[in-house]
Copies of this chain bind each other. A is one copy, B any other.
């Protein structure tokens, strides 16, 4: 297996040099062809996905995981649309980020260029296969994909359909490689091939990302866990607060930008919590909370220290009543995962303090945490949301799959 992976990595590197010089016209038409090809083969993809779903049910995977795994005609249409949108994105490469002359008359340009080879190890969502490949190609890279074994059939079908289309349009044959190996540990060898692979993106459980990070010598960008909060401030539009708090939890609980803990200022709790809790309970949300919240709404179960740190990814919510904005900020900086944090307030001053002092990839004023998304932001499909602070923080799109290069023009300048 190691030899096979090494061969894949080498071929991928070789083809990445061709990719880097490919005109955008070819990348664009290849991705459009892939989108069309995915739609034409909807039935094949659904059949493959059905096999995965049945297996998942048999293996008693959680509802959140099965939701992530599931494809249907709408999701395939969305996927094709997403690949088409990626095709139409401006090519980030060649962009001159800075351009200046130094005191010795050197002209210095900082230019955007492709990264080279990107390996992506991911779990569950099979649409990632096509979206991630499309983003990597658009950014001028080769990509090595390794999806979760639970989506084996879906991934195999999608990558085959995708690859046929792009190679037909002039993408080099080893620019996209899908690795079909059921044993994840084997795949970790990829994480040490820093001579051939420039970036490793890990999307999956916290444990999986940590395991990869611990042994990788290739730089890793992890799609981080989201312990996201909504804080309802002392001065706020209660209707807006309710809408945002509901949306952040129930609209799609199985994803990273869903809220896990609701913080409410004590001055709002008595009035707001009873009706809000009723709506949560009606939506099937299991509520856990601190003592004060449980005095207001007896249906709330007791939350422990562990709850404040937990990414439920499910219809479960922890609730804490705080007595100040400061307490909310301290709680978030202590227990949050640096993903997405929101404040609902009418006070500009409080908003400013929250947005400045909360240490997270994205901070929102008067909007749902669920809005932290590359497509919603208008940046095109995302390859994930990074909670790291290096290279890319927050939603990562096509620009985050490039690097830069100093290109310097001289007239014989030497160091004095």
Contacts and interface: CB of A to CB of B under 8 A. Distances in A.
A414 B244 contact: yes
A219 B102 CA distance: 31
A244 B412 contact: yes
Interface string A183-206: 000000000000000110000000
A252 B363 CA distance: 47
B414 A366 contact: no
Given A219-B219, A360-B405, A405-B361, A378 B103 contact: yes
A412 B219 contact: no
Contact of A368 (B100, B237, B415): B415
Interface stretch (A76-84, A132-140, A170-178, A389-397): A389-397
A405 B395 CA distance: 10
Contacts of A362: 405-408
Interface stretch (A2-10, A23-31, A209-217, A278-286): A209-217
Interface stretch (A122-130, A266-274, A351-359): A351-359
Contact of A361 (B333, B359, B406): B406
Interface string A234-251: 000100100110011001
B363 A405 contact: yes
A376 B104 contact: yes
Interface string A397-416: 00000011111111111110
Interface residues of A, number: 67
Interface string A360-388: 11111111101111001110000000001
A115 interface: yes
Contacts of A213: 217
Nearest to A364: B408
A21 interface: yes
A399 B100 CA distance: 16
A117 to B, nearest CB: 10
Contact of A406 (B251, B363, B415): B363
- Give the copy number: 2
A98 to B, nearest CB: 9
A210 B217 contact: yes
Most B CB atoms within 10 A — which of A103, A214, A219, A411?
A219
B415 A251 contact: yes
B414 A247 contact: yes
A116 interface: yes
A210 B192 CA distance: 11
Most B CB atoms within 10 A — which of A102, A237, A251, A413?
A413
Interface string A208-232: 0010011001010100000000000
A403 to B, nearest CB: 4
A242 to B, nearest CB: 10
Given A210-B217, A213-B217, A367-B412, A407 B355 contact: yes
Contacts of A17: 333, 357, 359
Contacts of A292: none
A370 B416 CA distance: 10
B21 A359 contact: no
A56 interface: no
Contacts of A357: 17, 21
B198 A366 contact: no
27 contacts: A17-B359, A102-B378, A104-B376, A106-B371, A108-B378, A219-B219, A219-B388, A219-B389, A221-B390, A243-B412, A252-B415, A355-B407, A361-B405, A361-B406, A362-B407, A365-B410, A366-B409, A366-B412, A366-B413, A367-B409, A367-B411, A368-B415, A371-B414, A376-B415, A389-B403, A390-B390, A393-B405
